[in-house]
Chain A
Amino acid sequence: MNEVIGLAPWLVGFPLIGAAILLLGGRATDRWGHWLGVLASGASMVVAFILMFRMIGTPVEERSVDHHLWTWLSAGDLGVDLGLRLDPLSVTFVMLVTFVGTLIHIYSVAYMDHDPDRRRFFAYLNLFVAAMLVLVLADSYLLLFVGWEGVGLASYLLIGFWDTGRPSARENAVAAKKAFVMNRIGDMGLIAAMALLFAHAGALDFGTVLSDDSVGAMSQATATAVGLCLLLAACGKSAQFPLQAWLGDAMAGPTPVSALIHAATMVTAGVYLMVRSGAILEAAPTAQLVVVLVGAVTLLFGAIVGCAKDDIKKALAASTMSQIGYMMLAAGLGPAGYAFAIFHLLTHGFFKAGLFLGAGSVMHAMGDQTDMRRFGGLSRFLPITWITMGLGWLAILGIPPFSGFWSKDGIIEAAFIPVEGQPWRAWVFGTVAVLGAAITAFYMTRLFFMTFGGRRPRWTENQHPHEGSPLMWWPLVFLGVGSAALGLVLGIGGTFTTWLEPVTGHAEHHEPVLPVPVIITATLVVVVLGALLAFRMYAVNLVPEEAPRGSVLTRAARRDLYQDAANETLVMKPGYGLARVVQVGDRDVVDRGWSVLPQAVSWFGGVFRKAQTGYVRSYAAGMAGGVLVIAVVVWLVVGLGGAQ
């Protein structure tokens, strides 16, 4: 491992240099800038492959390496090095980010072909890849935070990529700001967690903070506080309840961005954070329970919303939220869940990126239409997109042997594992996970058949759908193959679980409350039922072009279960009210309060001014009177002739 570790900084270096050249080079790089972006990402991917193969060839106990670059911050009692940590967990992420990232770079060359700002787009994409790699490679919470906010910035820039010149420019800009601000709310948690950890351990690097000594010395209260703070951060980044509202709006960005950032990589960073901080969570059962709760709530929330959305990207976004809910739930289950959380993250990265790129392909073919009610019957016109999205669809449904089956089923089984002292947990969370799978099957089947199925196209006029250039469909093919096969390759015999063991620790085998075959069968049955219901409603029956009014639940789901209204009433309006109070208070109390002083001075001046009559004789009289008064005083005090 050590002989290639020197390459690790280049993982970040290539895309960072790419971004710098593209941003500083300006219009001069317009002609070839996109290829430079692809090259930078590709070079990073090559390094990632080298590192991964070398790691596979290394004995298990030597697979975790810290690579020190330079002393970053050293002041007071705090010393933080700029260092990279390579271990199976970070390398898994690096592979996902660089591989899927490079595919999406290639896809974007074609997708953004007509955009005059394509160079800027690639600069931001490269910036994102670099920041994401910093996030996963960091060897301390502080450096992780750099990547953490770096991806937030890239996400902000890319969601708002079309923030001027288009009719929807303002909304895009608002969506970008919303994403960044909500992420920042989560980031408060990370800052607070770092403050707590520093106060506890006097350091911020994973090696010290997560060591058995440090965690063992941590009080229950501290561990719970740190765990909850980290969870807040994860909720912001991963769009988990209650900080989920930004993800849907983030779909305003170009579709490759949605695929890369808001499906495959960045939004899953919260899960990474949870798994990375597993040692702390395990010391805080309360925090763990909250993590599981958040995951469970979000997975149902996203799934319900996904059933009602007609916008293909928003439906996929809701699905992403829901799937990350699964991962979060798994991350809260302790060592038994970590490996499956990451496994699902990986497979989800492939199939969801494939689904998003497929959606992009559809939009490309349909003139940027996103309303699924205006699709239909596209399988004949977009065969490659149809097949690859079909693979993704089967994968997310969890149909064996497609990849989602291996990872999601693992999570559902883990959710059924009983927790000592809280027998209700296994049943409640297990049921939620199964129910989520059923709803997933419904909304994904709905999405798939509304787009490709149906006997009658519902297109707007003058549509001539056709496949895009090979640059667009080759990435789809790669991702489709991944969606189909990745789970089988990594899942059989627990290869992936073993691979992650140096990081996640060995999970004791526990029996779920139900026998495993029963769980698998039950899950498959409800999934098939959900899918059949959707098939009946959206493939067999006609889909109306205008959305029907729908039930109360449908209407609520269309509006994201009133998340924006809730935020508006609970946070923004009171916040604005408070700000108004402060503003008025500053003007009328503080500022006016200070102006009392000069007013008092000028009032006194006004009083004494009256003595200034302007008449010389009155001044003279004043003087004479003054002399008299002094003379009298002197006389009274000293006495006449007192001098003698």
Chain B
Amino acid sequence: MFPWLTALIAWPLVGAAVVALGALGRSRTGSANAGTGLARPIALVFSLVEVVLLVGAFLAFDTGAAAEHQLAETHAWIPQIGTSYAVAVDGVGLLLVALAVVLVPLVLLAAWNEQGRDEVRLRRFVGLVLLLQAFMVAVFAARDVFLFYVLFEAMLIPAYFLIGGFGQGAGRRQAAVKFLMFSLGGGLIMLAAVIALYFLAVGAGVDPSKAFLLDELVGVNLGTIAERLMFVGFFVAFAIKAPMVPVHSWLPDVAGNATPGTSTLLICVLDKVGTFGMLTLCLPLFPEASRWAAPFVIALAVISVLYGAIMAIMQTDLLRLVGWTSVSHFGFIILGIFTFTPLGTAGSSFMMLNHGLATGALFLVAGFLVARHPERSQRITDYRGLRSVTPVLAGTFLVAGLATLSLPGLATFVSEIMVLIGAFGGAPAGSAAWTVAAIPGVVLAAIYVLLTYQKIFTGAPAEGLEVLPDLKARERIVAAPLVVGLLVLGLVPGLALTYVDAPAQQSATTIAVDEPADAAAQMGSDK
């Protein structure tokens, strides 16, 4: 069988290497230093071929068994400490891999003219993007805790340089350091838990040469206290990445200072590792601890929903605002995961994909807007009345905004309503009350989206902005797939739900195995 996942991981690495060496460029012109302008096309071609590989992976994936981890490859890596190169995806993992694969070409295209004409700089930028892509694909496919940890930390390297090296904000270096420190801090706690997990698993009788394999670790009894401690270790790392209140502080700084493309990759894809990790590591490895922590986690998730939305309303910087909306959305995702209902979990899984499309669209379109401003201002109040100047840009922004506020008919609505309806009947104490408390988030979402739209696009055009070019063909090509994807998945969500439903069912039933059947199912059977 063709190793689809390895191919998906390796191909961007090859691309990054080719771009970094500039080998093709040199052979063409015979000079190493001359700007050949080939870095961007090469990277784009690599990312498009990656999409083709993704299609292959989708075809090889059996949707009938979406809950199982398929396309598996396992090779011993460091046998002495029991680590393996083990990759496989279930439906959720595959969708997130797809998100990483699909967004990269769009980001490359969106950032086509953003970094000027300096070939070295361009080469570095696209190389880092491809490197990040390889790591992101790998982390969603990793089925070995050690491998997962290594990739979890390795992703920080390209991300750090992308934030610190290419942003337009003055505080980008500081933001990059802040991001790195938060992530490393979380990673360190997680490392302790990873090591503890290995020794406890070996102690509990797991074969030491396989003691990092997730499939071996699931269901091992680790002892209540140890399990809870390790849960906390993993959870903190994931909460920082997600990001969740109160460990979100790095996110708005990054969103405000990084390029829109970087933010898209970082917040729409890389951050999903947090929620993905909660779903695929925390819940199966530490079911008892997850149940123990659920009421607290749910409370924090709902606080994140409202907190992020309120902060978004108060922002003056467009890109920071988009960053804050994500805090709110991640709150919904975590709420769905930790209420342990099949519907809510499926909704959260679906939402991970949709949030990537919607927020990605919003970041990129906001980037197009900022790029048009003579001073590249990110201040919302520096814009006014652009609907008549750039109608297509305004329309696209509005659609992306409506997706962010989960307008029915778009995919984000389906996932959000699944989370809310599912979470309401969740098993953990207080699920229903906290879910109801999260519902005002939809009103706040309407406020932050429409207020922003009103400020930027309505009224009389601001001085100096009376003649701006509308979206160019390249930019329309970037926005179109995202908008179409949101629409199609909104009308026929089954396309994606077939991938997330079975894993969600399995996850929710595993976790609720010695709980009384969840409230919804119980009531349903009463009638």
| A binding-site residues for B, Cβ under 8 Å | 23, 26, 70-78, 82, 142, 145-146, 148-150, 153, 156, 160, 163-165, 169-170, 172-174, 176-177, 180-181, 184-185, 187-188, 191-192, 194-196, 198-202, 204, 213-214, 217, 578-580, 582-583, 586, 590-591, 593-594, 597-598
Contact = CB atoms under 8 A, between A and B. Distances in A.
B388 A142 contact: no
A161 B401 CA distance: 18
10 contacts: A75-B346, A75-B350, A75-B501, A76-B346, A170-B459, A177-B451, A200-B523, A204-B421, A582-B311, A594-B247
Contact of B408 (A78, A145, A204): A145
B32 interface: no
A414 B432 CA distance: 38
B406 to A, nearest CB: 9
B300 interface: no
Contact of B409 (A146, A163, A195, A204): A146
B458 A187 contact: no
Interface in B440-454: 440, 442-443, 446-447, 450-451, 454
Interface stretch (B82-90, B94-102, B187-195, B337-345): B337-345
A170 B458 contact: yes
Interface in B302-348: 307, 310-311, 313-314, 341-347
A630 B407 CA distance: 72
> Top 5 nearest A-B pairs by Cβ distance?
A76-B343, A202-B524, A76-B342, A173-B458, A195-B424
A198 B387 contact: no
Contacts of B440: 188
A71 B494 contact: yes
Interface of A is mostly: helix
A199 B417 contact: no
Given A78-B422, A579-B310, 9 more contacts: A75-B418, A82-B491, A142-B417, A150-B408, A150-B409, A201-B523, A214-B527, A580-B314, A586-B307
Q: Which of B345, B424, B519 is the most central at the interface, judged by chain A CB atoms within 10 Å of its CB? A: B424
Contacts of A185: 443
B421 A194 contact: yes
Nearest to A75: B346
A583 B314 contact: yes
B158 interface: no
Nearest to B395: A23
A528 B167 CA distance: 73
Contacts of A76: 341-346, 418, 422, 501, 504-505, 508
Interface in B387-410: 387-388, 392, 395, 402, 407-409
B420 A75 contact: no
A195 B435 contact: yes
Contacts of B310: 578-579, 582-583
Contacts of A204: 421
B169 interface: no
A75 B451 contact: no
Given A75-B500, A146-B409, A184-B442, A177 B385 contact: no
Contacts of B442: 184, 187-188, 191
A191 B420 contact: yes
A230 to B, nearest CB: 14
Given A184-B442, A198-B421, A77 B520 contact: yes
A184 B443 contact: yes
Contacts of B347: 75
B246 interface: yes
A142 B491 CA distance: 12
A164 B385 contact: yes
Contacts of B371: none
Contacts of A23: 395
Of A145, A170, A214, most B-chain CB atoms within 10 Å? A170
B427 to A, nearest CB: 12
Given A76-B345, A76-B346, A78-B418, A164 B460 contact: yes
A590 B436 CA distance: 26
A153 B402 contact: yes
Given A153-B407, A579-B314, A75 B527 contact: no
Contacts of B408: 145-146, 148-150
Given A74-B497, A76-B341, A76-B342, A191 B417 contact: yes
Interface in B468-515: 491-494, 497, 500-501, 504-505, 508
Contacts of B313: 579
B526 A174 contact: no
A201 B524 CA distance: 5
Contacts of A202: 520-521, 523-524, 527
B457 interface: yes
Contact of A180 (B245, B414, B450, B521): B450
Contacts of A77: 341-343, 520-521, 524
A491 B304 CA distance: 55
B387 A201 contact: no
Contacts of A591: 249
Contact of B388 (A165, A176, A201, A598): A165
B494 A163 contact: no
Contacts of A148: 408
